[in-house]
Copies of this chain bind each other. A is one copy, B any other.
Amino acid sequence: MGQGAGRREPTMREVAALAKVSTKTVSRVINGLPGAGTEVTDRVRAAARTLGYRPDLTASSLRRSDRRSATIGVLFEDLSNPFDSALLRAVEDRARHSGVLVLAGSSEDDRALQRELLVSLSARRVDGVVVMAAGGHQDALHQERERGTPMVLVDRPPTFGGTDCVTTTNRDSSRDAVLRLAALGHRDIGFLGDRRTLWTSQERYTGYLEGLAQAGLTLREELVRTDLHGDAPAEAAARTLLGLARPPTALFTAQNLVTVGAMRALRARGEHRRVALIGFDDFRLADLLEPGITVVRQDVPGIGRKAAELVLARIDGDTSPPVHAVVPATLVRRGSGEIPPPTG
């Protein structure tokens, strides 16, 4: 394989020949199973070292009774997204502790691609998968789950039953954010949200509504903009809101990039010190801006670790009822969320 060199990896048979034992004995030594004498063990070890033998896990897992590949699949929306990559890292760390490696892919919130990647993962016989479900129907995931593949959904719950899931306190934390703004005296609180097909967007919007209701505020529909995918549309939407005859005095932005877009709009209008802003999802440097951006911070490592733990447990045969773990998010005050409404 090496730059055309075509060197083959040594096999157990070759080790066995060199050590003058059977392959079965080599297998015993390599796997540390009983039934090999000390002298033979030494001979086999020496032969393996001499030849540079390394076991072939794929052949091994083909034959073994448990059929484990010691590999799990991770299917997130976009591995270059900070949220997704932090999640991946957390899953990876937990998995490595169990000797499990991670096959990772980005599904770009595209169902066809997600299905394709799922097929690729199953062709490699991964032991289980951790998935961020693409928007819309989840037939492919459901089918895969029905086949018996251990599966944990993260960030968004399944639309089918019998499957573990880890999410954050989307609704409650959004409600709390809105209540905090209301407590400062804000009565016109705008909402900027991501694609409505996303469960998280819906939950955060619901939380926004709950917050308004609980604070005794009435919803002004013209202050709500959703389906903002990326920071550019979010910026445009924010500009529109701020240009209204009776503009919002505070904004709740329900996603990472939407927050960034809103910040750009506020800055462009020179209103970033006058209009309050709370965003969902923390981001690096949020504290270095002026004012610092108040955010709802998800416990991303916690979510990833939990998801990995769940899938590993299922792989190990845990048959307890499906779990929907909710990892609490916290509000981080940095200034932008503490701006009071203009007096008068």
Decide yes or no: A260 and B283 within 8 Å by CB, A88-B80, A148-B1, A319-B4 being known contacts: no
Q: B317 contacts A288, CB within 8 Å?
A: no
8 A Cβ contacts from A232-291 to B? 260, 263-264, 267, 283-285, 288-290
Among A7, A82, A124, A290, residue most surrounded by chain B Cβ atoms (within 10 Å):
A124
Give the CA-CA distance A5 to B145 in the complex, in Å: 11
Give the CA-CA distance A57 to B59 in the complex, in Å: 11
Chain B residues positioned under 8 Å from A119 (CB to CB)? 54
Choice from B85, B120, B147 contacting A7 with Cβ under 8 Å: B147
Chain B residues positioned under 8 Å from A9 (CB to CB)? 122, 125, 147
**Residue A193 interfacial (CB < 8 Å):** no
Q: A102 contacts B103, CB within 8 Å?
A: yes
A320's nearest neighbour on chain B, judged by CB, is: B3
Chain B residues positioned under 8 Å from A125 (CB to CB)? 9, 56-58
Q: Report the copy number of this chain in the oligomer.
A: 2
Number of interface residues of A (CB under 8 A): 73
A3 nearest CB across to chain B (Å)? 5
Give the CA-CA distance A82 to B120 in the complex, in Å: 26
Decide yes or no: A319 and B3 within 8 Å by CB, A104-B102, A124-B71 being known contacts: yes
8 A Cβ contacts from A135-183 to B? 145, 147-150, 162
Give the CA-CA distance A260 to B6 in the complex, in Å: 47
Chain B residues positioned under 8 Å from A217 (CB to CB)? none
Give the CA-CA distance A104 to B119 in the complex, in Å: 18
Give the CA-CA distance A85 to B283 in the complex, in Å: 15
Q: B62 contacts A59, CB within 8 Å?
A: yes
Chain B residues positioned under 8 Å from A6 (CB to CB)? 148
8 A Cβ contacts from A287-344 to B? 288-290, 314-315, 317-319, 322
8 A Cβ contacts from A196-255 to B? none
Q: B71 contacts A92, CB within 8 Å?
A: no
**Residue A25 interfacial (CB < 8 Å):** no
8 A Cβ contacts from A46-84 to B? 52, 54-59, 61-62, 67, 69, 71, 78-82, 84
CB<8 Å pairs between A and B, sample of 15: A1-B148, A4-B319, A5-B148, A9-B122, A56-B123, A58-B58, A58-B125, A79-B79, A80-B82, A80-B85, A80-B89, A92-B104, A101-B124, A103-B103, A284-B284
